[in-house]
Amino acid sequence: MKILVCISKTPDTTAKIAFTDNNTKFSEAGVQFIINPYDEWYALVRALELKETQGATVHLITVGGADTEPVIRKALALGGDEAFRVNADSTDSFYIASQIAAHAKQEGYDIIFTGKETIDYNGSGIGGMVAELTGLPFVSIASKFDLNGQTATLRREIEGGEEVCEVDLPVVVSCQKGMAEARIPNMRGIMAARTKPLKVVEPVAADSLTAIVSFELPPAKAGVKMVPADNVEELVKLLHEEAKVI
Amino acid sequence: MSVIIFADQFEGKIKKSALEAVQYGAKVARQTGTTATAVVLGEVGAEELAVLGQYGATKVLHAADARLNEPEAGVVTKVLAEAVAKENAGIVVFSHNFSGRAVAPQLSARLKAGLVAGAISLPDMANGFVVKKNVFSGKAFANVNITSEKKIISVLPNTFSLEPGSGTASVEAFSPAVSDADFRVKVVKSETISGEVPLTEAEIVVSGGRGLKGPENWALVENLAHALGAATACSRPVADSGWRPHHEHVGQTGFTVRPNLYVAIGISGAIQHLAGVNGSKVIVVINKDPEAPFFKAADYGIVGDAFEVVPKLTEAVKKYKGN
């Protein structure tokens, strides 16, 4: 069995967000970068669990410059077997998905895992686009993935509940909380990752369908109005008369 | 070149988030001098379809095929692509709800139509086709230009409040070419928490954190939520400790909510939690620590012991609602 896990480099969850170049570029000054949590904690770890229980080769792919390599080395340290870096820089989901789909078609995977979204651009588009471009079925926002032979049973989120569904491999799945528990790479994994293959491939020709024009930071709050703890009636009155939310 | 909106339904009822998308799509149609067509899949009654007119759709394409009641994303993609061709649509609008998140990217790739996922503004067409969306999990916004000829927008739920009008829509039966072989993902069962307000659609959310000390104290949160007609939520440590189910976790790696009112009880307000809630219109924070960072992001605050303040607040809300 061959599994592909799509990895994105994102700012750490505690990173302070700021912009440069007249609010057109994310400021990387002082920012720590991590594997996008959904890609790491759920997509990658579930792939590694399948590798351990059923036997599988786990490939990793990222689309980005050389600065993404520390992040992909960490994914190798966690237990990925081989990594591919498509040497291109883009914020357009369709362009990125086109790169991943081109690689996937060439290699042929049984399962392609992505995170449900990245915590930087929050596009949540890569899984669905890769499914469309490879012609595979797509299950979105899955919290559970079990495999019985060639049939996967998944649990996925729907409005106001959950759904259990079945699909035959190959399949594309976007992963969220519940799929697996986060792991920390051990020293052996970190040492092994140094010599695991990380292949740099040049991008295929693909269109970009969107472009970020500018960024904005949200307006600052006007300030908090404190209500004494022994006067909750005052809070109810404010919520009704001033804020008009109840 | 009409605007098509996917008005998705659940158990025969058009979702609230889908009505928001219809209203948004109708406004985009007005901006671009065209009309709005809503597409409804599955068994939905005539009364429910009529509601779409009130939100600005002038036409409804209804595929009343029972196989399309809970269809997989791939099938919806195929059906919508047919509707786009039939209506010669240039813009497709979704809600950025669970089905929108699954289908919009697939349709985007199929039509080579640029996608803005989670829009929080109408398009600005003064210089291109620029739509604002949340990025960095709500810590910032990006203005994104869709450069392709066809365009897809998914609208962030709870961003645009519903304003029903008196419009009507004509309903046209729609028989898309769908074969049994198109269904590759089989739904075995669906479990919905009926009677409860879905978190991402809720107008009011009451959320609890570690300050509540244990799952046995959750009645505090639930009673206040019940009094307010609110959904319940929690912070990440609470979900990670198993006190509450994961689907209640709000924050950067959980759900992003944008209710009118978010009440945070015993949550300190770490940056990751704030990212999931700072789109809320009004935030109330109840915490015994006056230095809790959450107060900086709040509109109203009470410094006090949740175990004393919350029951009193619940009573005060009940009393107010009773009048």
CB contact under 8 A, B74 and A19: no
Percentage of chain A beyond pLDDT 90 is 91
Report the pLDDT value the prediction gives residue B247, as an integer from 0 to 100: 84
User: Where does the pLDDT of residue B198 fall: very low under 50, low under 70, confident under 90, or very high at 90 and above?
Assistant: confident
- Yes or no, beta carbons of A215 and B261 under 8 Å apart: no
Instruction: Give B231's pLDDT tier (boundaries 50, 70, 90).
Output: very high
Partner B contacted by A141 (CB < 8 A): yes
SS3 B295: helix
C-alpha B120/C-alpha B235 separation (Å) is 24
Count how many residues are written for chain B.
323
Give percent of chain A with pLDDT exceeding 70: 100
Q: Please, are residues A171 and A137 in contact by the beta-carbon 8 Å criterion?
A: yes
The answer to whether residue B1 neighbours chain A at the CB level (below 8 Å) is no
Q: Provide the chain A residues 216-245 that lie in CB contact (below 8 A) with chain B.
A: 216-218, 221-222, 224-229, 232-233, 235-236, 238-240, 243, 245
**Residue A96 main-chain phi, psi, to 5 deg:** -65, -45
Hey, what amino acid is at A170?
P
Per-residue model confidence (pLDDT) at position B109: 98
A67-125 residue pLDDT tens: 999 999 999 999 999 999 999 998 899 999 999 999 999 999 999 999 999 999 999 99
How far apart CA A183 and CA B94 sit, in angstroms, is 36
Q: With contacts defined as CB-CB under 8 Å, which chain B residues touch A124?
A: 96, 101, 105, 117-118
Q: How far is A200 from chain B (nearest CA, A)?
A: 25
H helix count then E strand count, chain B: 8, 17
Looking at the complex, does the CB of residue A33 fall below 8 Å from at least one CB of chain B? no
Tell whether ipTM is more than 0.90. yes
H or E segment to which residue B171 belongs: strand B170-173
Residue with tokens 């230009």: B145
Is there a contact between B235 and B250 (Cβ–Cβ < 8 Å)?
yes
Distance from CA of A194 to the nearest CA of B (A): 29
pLDDT value at B190 more than 90? no
CB of B128 within 8 Å of a chain A CB? The answer is yes
Q: Tell whether B58 is within 8 A of chain A (Cβ).
A: no
Q: Does B241 touch chain A (CB under 8 A)?
A: no
B207 touches chain A (CB under 8 A): no
Does A203 lie at the interface with B, CB-CB under 8 angstroms? no
Contacts of A236 in chain B (CB under 8 A): 313, 316-317, 320
Residue B188 CA to residue B183 CA, distance in Å, equals 13
* DSSP structural state of residue B121: S
Whether the pLDDT of residue B55 is over 60: the answer is yes
- A182 at interface of B, judged by CB pairs closer than 8 A: no
Distance CA B321, CA B82 (A): 49
The pLDDT assigned to B314 comes to 97
CA-CA distances (angstroms) from residue A13 to A5, B137, B259? 21, 9, 23
pLDDT for residue B150: 98
Residues B273-306: pLDDT tens digits? 998 998 899 999 999 999 999 999 999 999 999 9
Residue A76 Rama label (left phi>0; alpha psi -120 to 50; beta): alpha
Residues of chain A neighbouring B200 (CB-CB closer than 8 A): 159
pTM: 0.91
Residue-wise pLDDT for A140-174, tens only, equals 999 999 999 999 999 998 887 889 999 999 999 99
Number of A to B CB contacts under 8 A, please give it: 277
Q: Of the candidates B245, B164, B184, which has an alpha carbon nearest to the alpha carbon of residue A134?
A: B184
